[in-house]
């Protein structure tokens, strides 16, 4: 097999550039469809432009709307973080309340002594 080292390097470079290009194309399309400020017709127009003339369409999109891509991504990440923290706060609070209610029920039923109840309550409230 006669395949010189330089050809291996060039093939590797072209494969890398092709993968990079696909990543960039999908990133632009994802940003396009996630953007709530664009109307449906604007999204359709950009999509047609990017699919019919992919290189030119992506580069024009990056020049025209590239700066806001990062801002929109940051806002999405901040919203996801805030939503996650809210869910965790609500879940933790609800979990403690449920555990305390269960402990009270066990105490009232006679399954726990008052000392065991106080220790278990302190453990739940400490967590």
What would the pLDDT profile of 94-111 be if each residue is shown by its tens digit? 777 788 888 888 888 888
Single pTM value for the model: 0.60
Nearest Cα residue to 106 out of 120, 126, 96, 95:
120
Is the Cβ–Cβ distance between 54 and 25 less than 8 Å?
A: yes
**CA pseudo-torsion sign 22, 24, 59, 48:** positive
| 69-94 residue pLDDT tens | 989 999 999 999 999 988 887 776 67
């Amino acid at each position: 097999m006669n395949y010189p080292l330089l050809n291996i390097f060039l093939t590797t470079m072209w494969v890398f550039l092709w993968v990079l290009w696909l990543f960039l194309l999908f990133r632009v399309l994802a940003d396009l469809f996630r953007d709530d400020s664009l109307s449906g017709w604007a999204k359709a127009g950009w999509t047609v432009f990017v699919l019919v003339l992919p290189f030119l369409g992506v580069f024009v999109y990056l020049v025209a709307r590239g700066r806001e891509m990062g801002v929109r991504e940051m806002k999405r990440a901040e919203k996801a973080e805030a939503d996650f923290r809210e869910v965790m706060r609500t879940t933790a609070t609800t979990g403690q309340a449920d555990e305390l209610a269960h402990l009270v029920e066990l105490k009232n039923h006679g399954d726990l002594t008052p000392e065991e109840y106080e220790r278990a309550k302190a453990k739940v409230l400490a967590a």
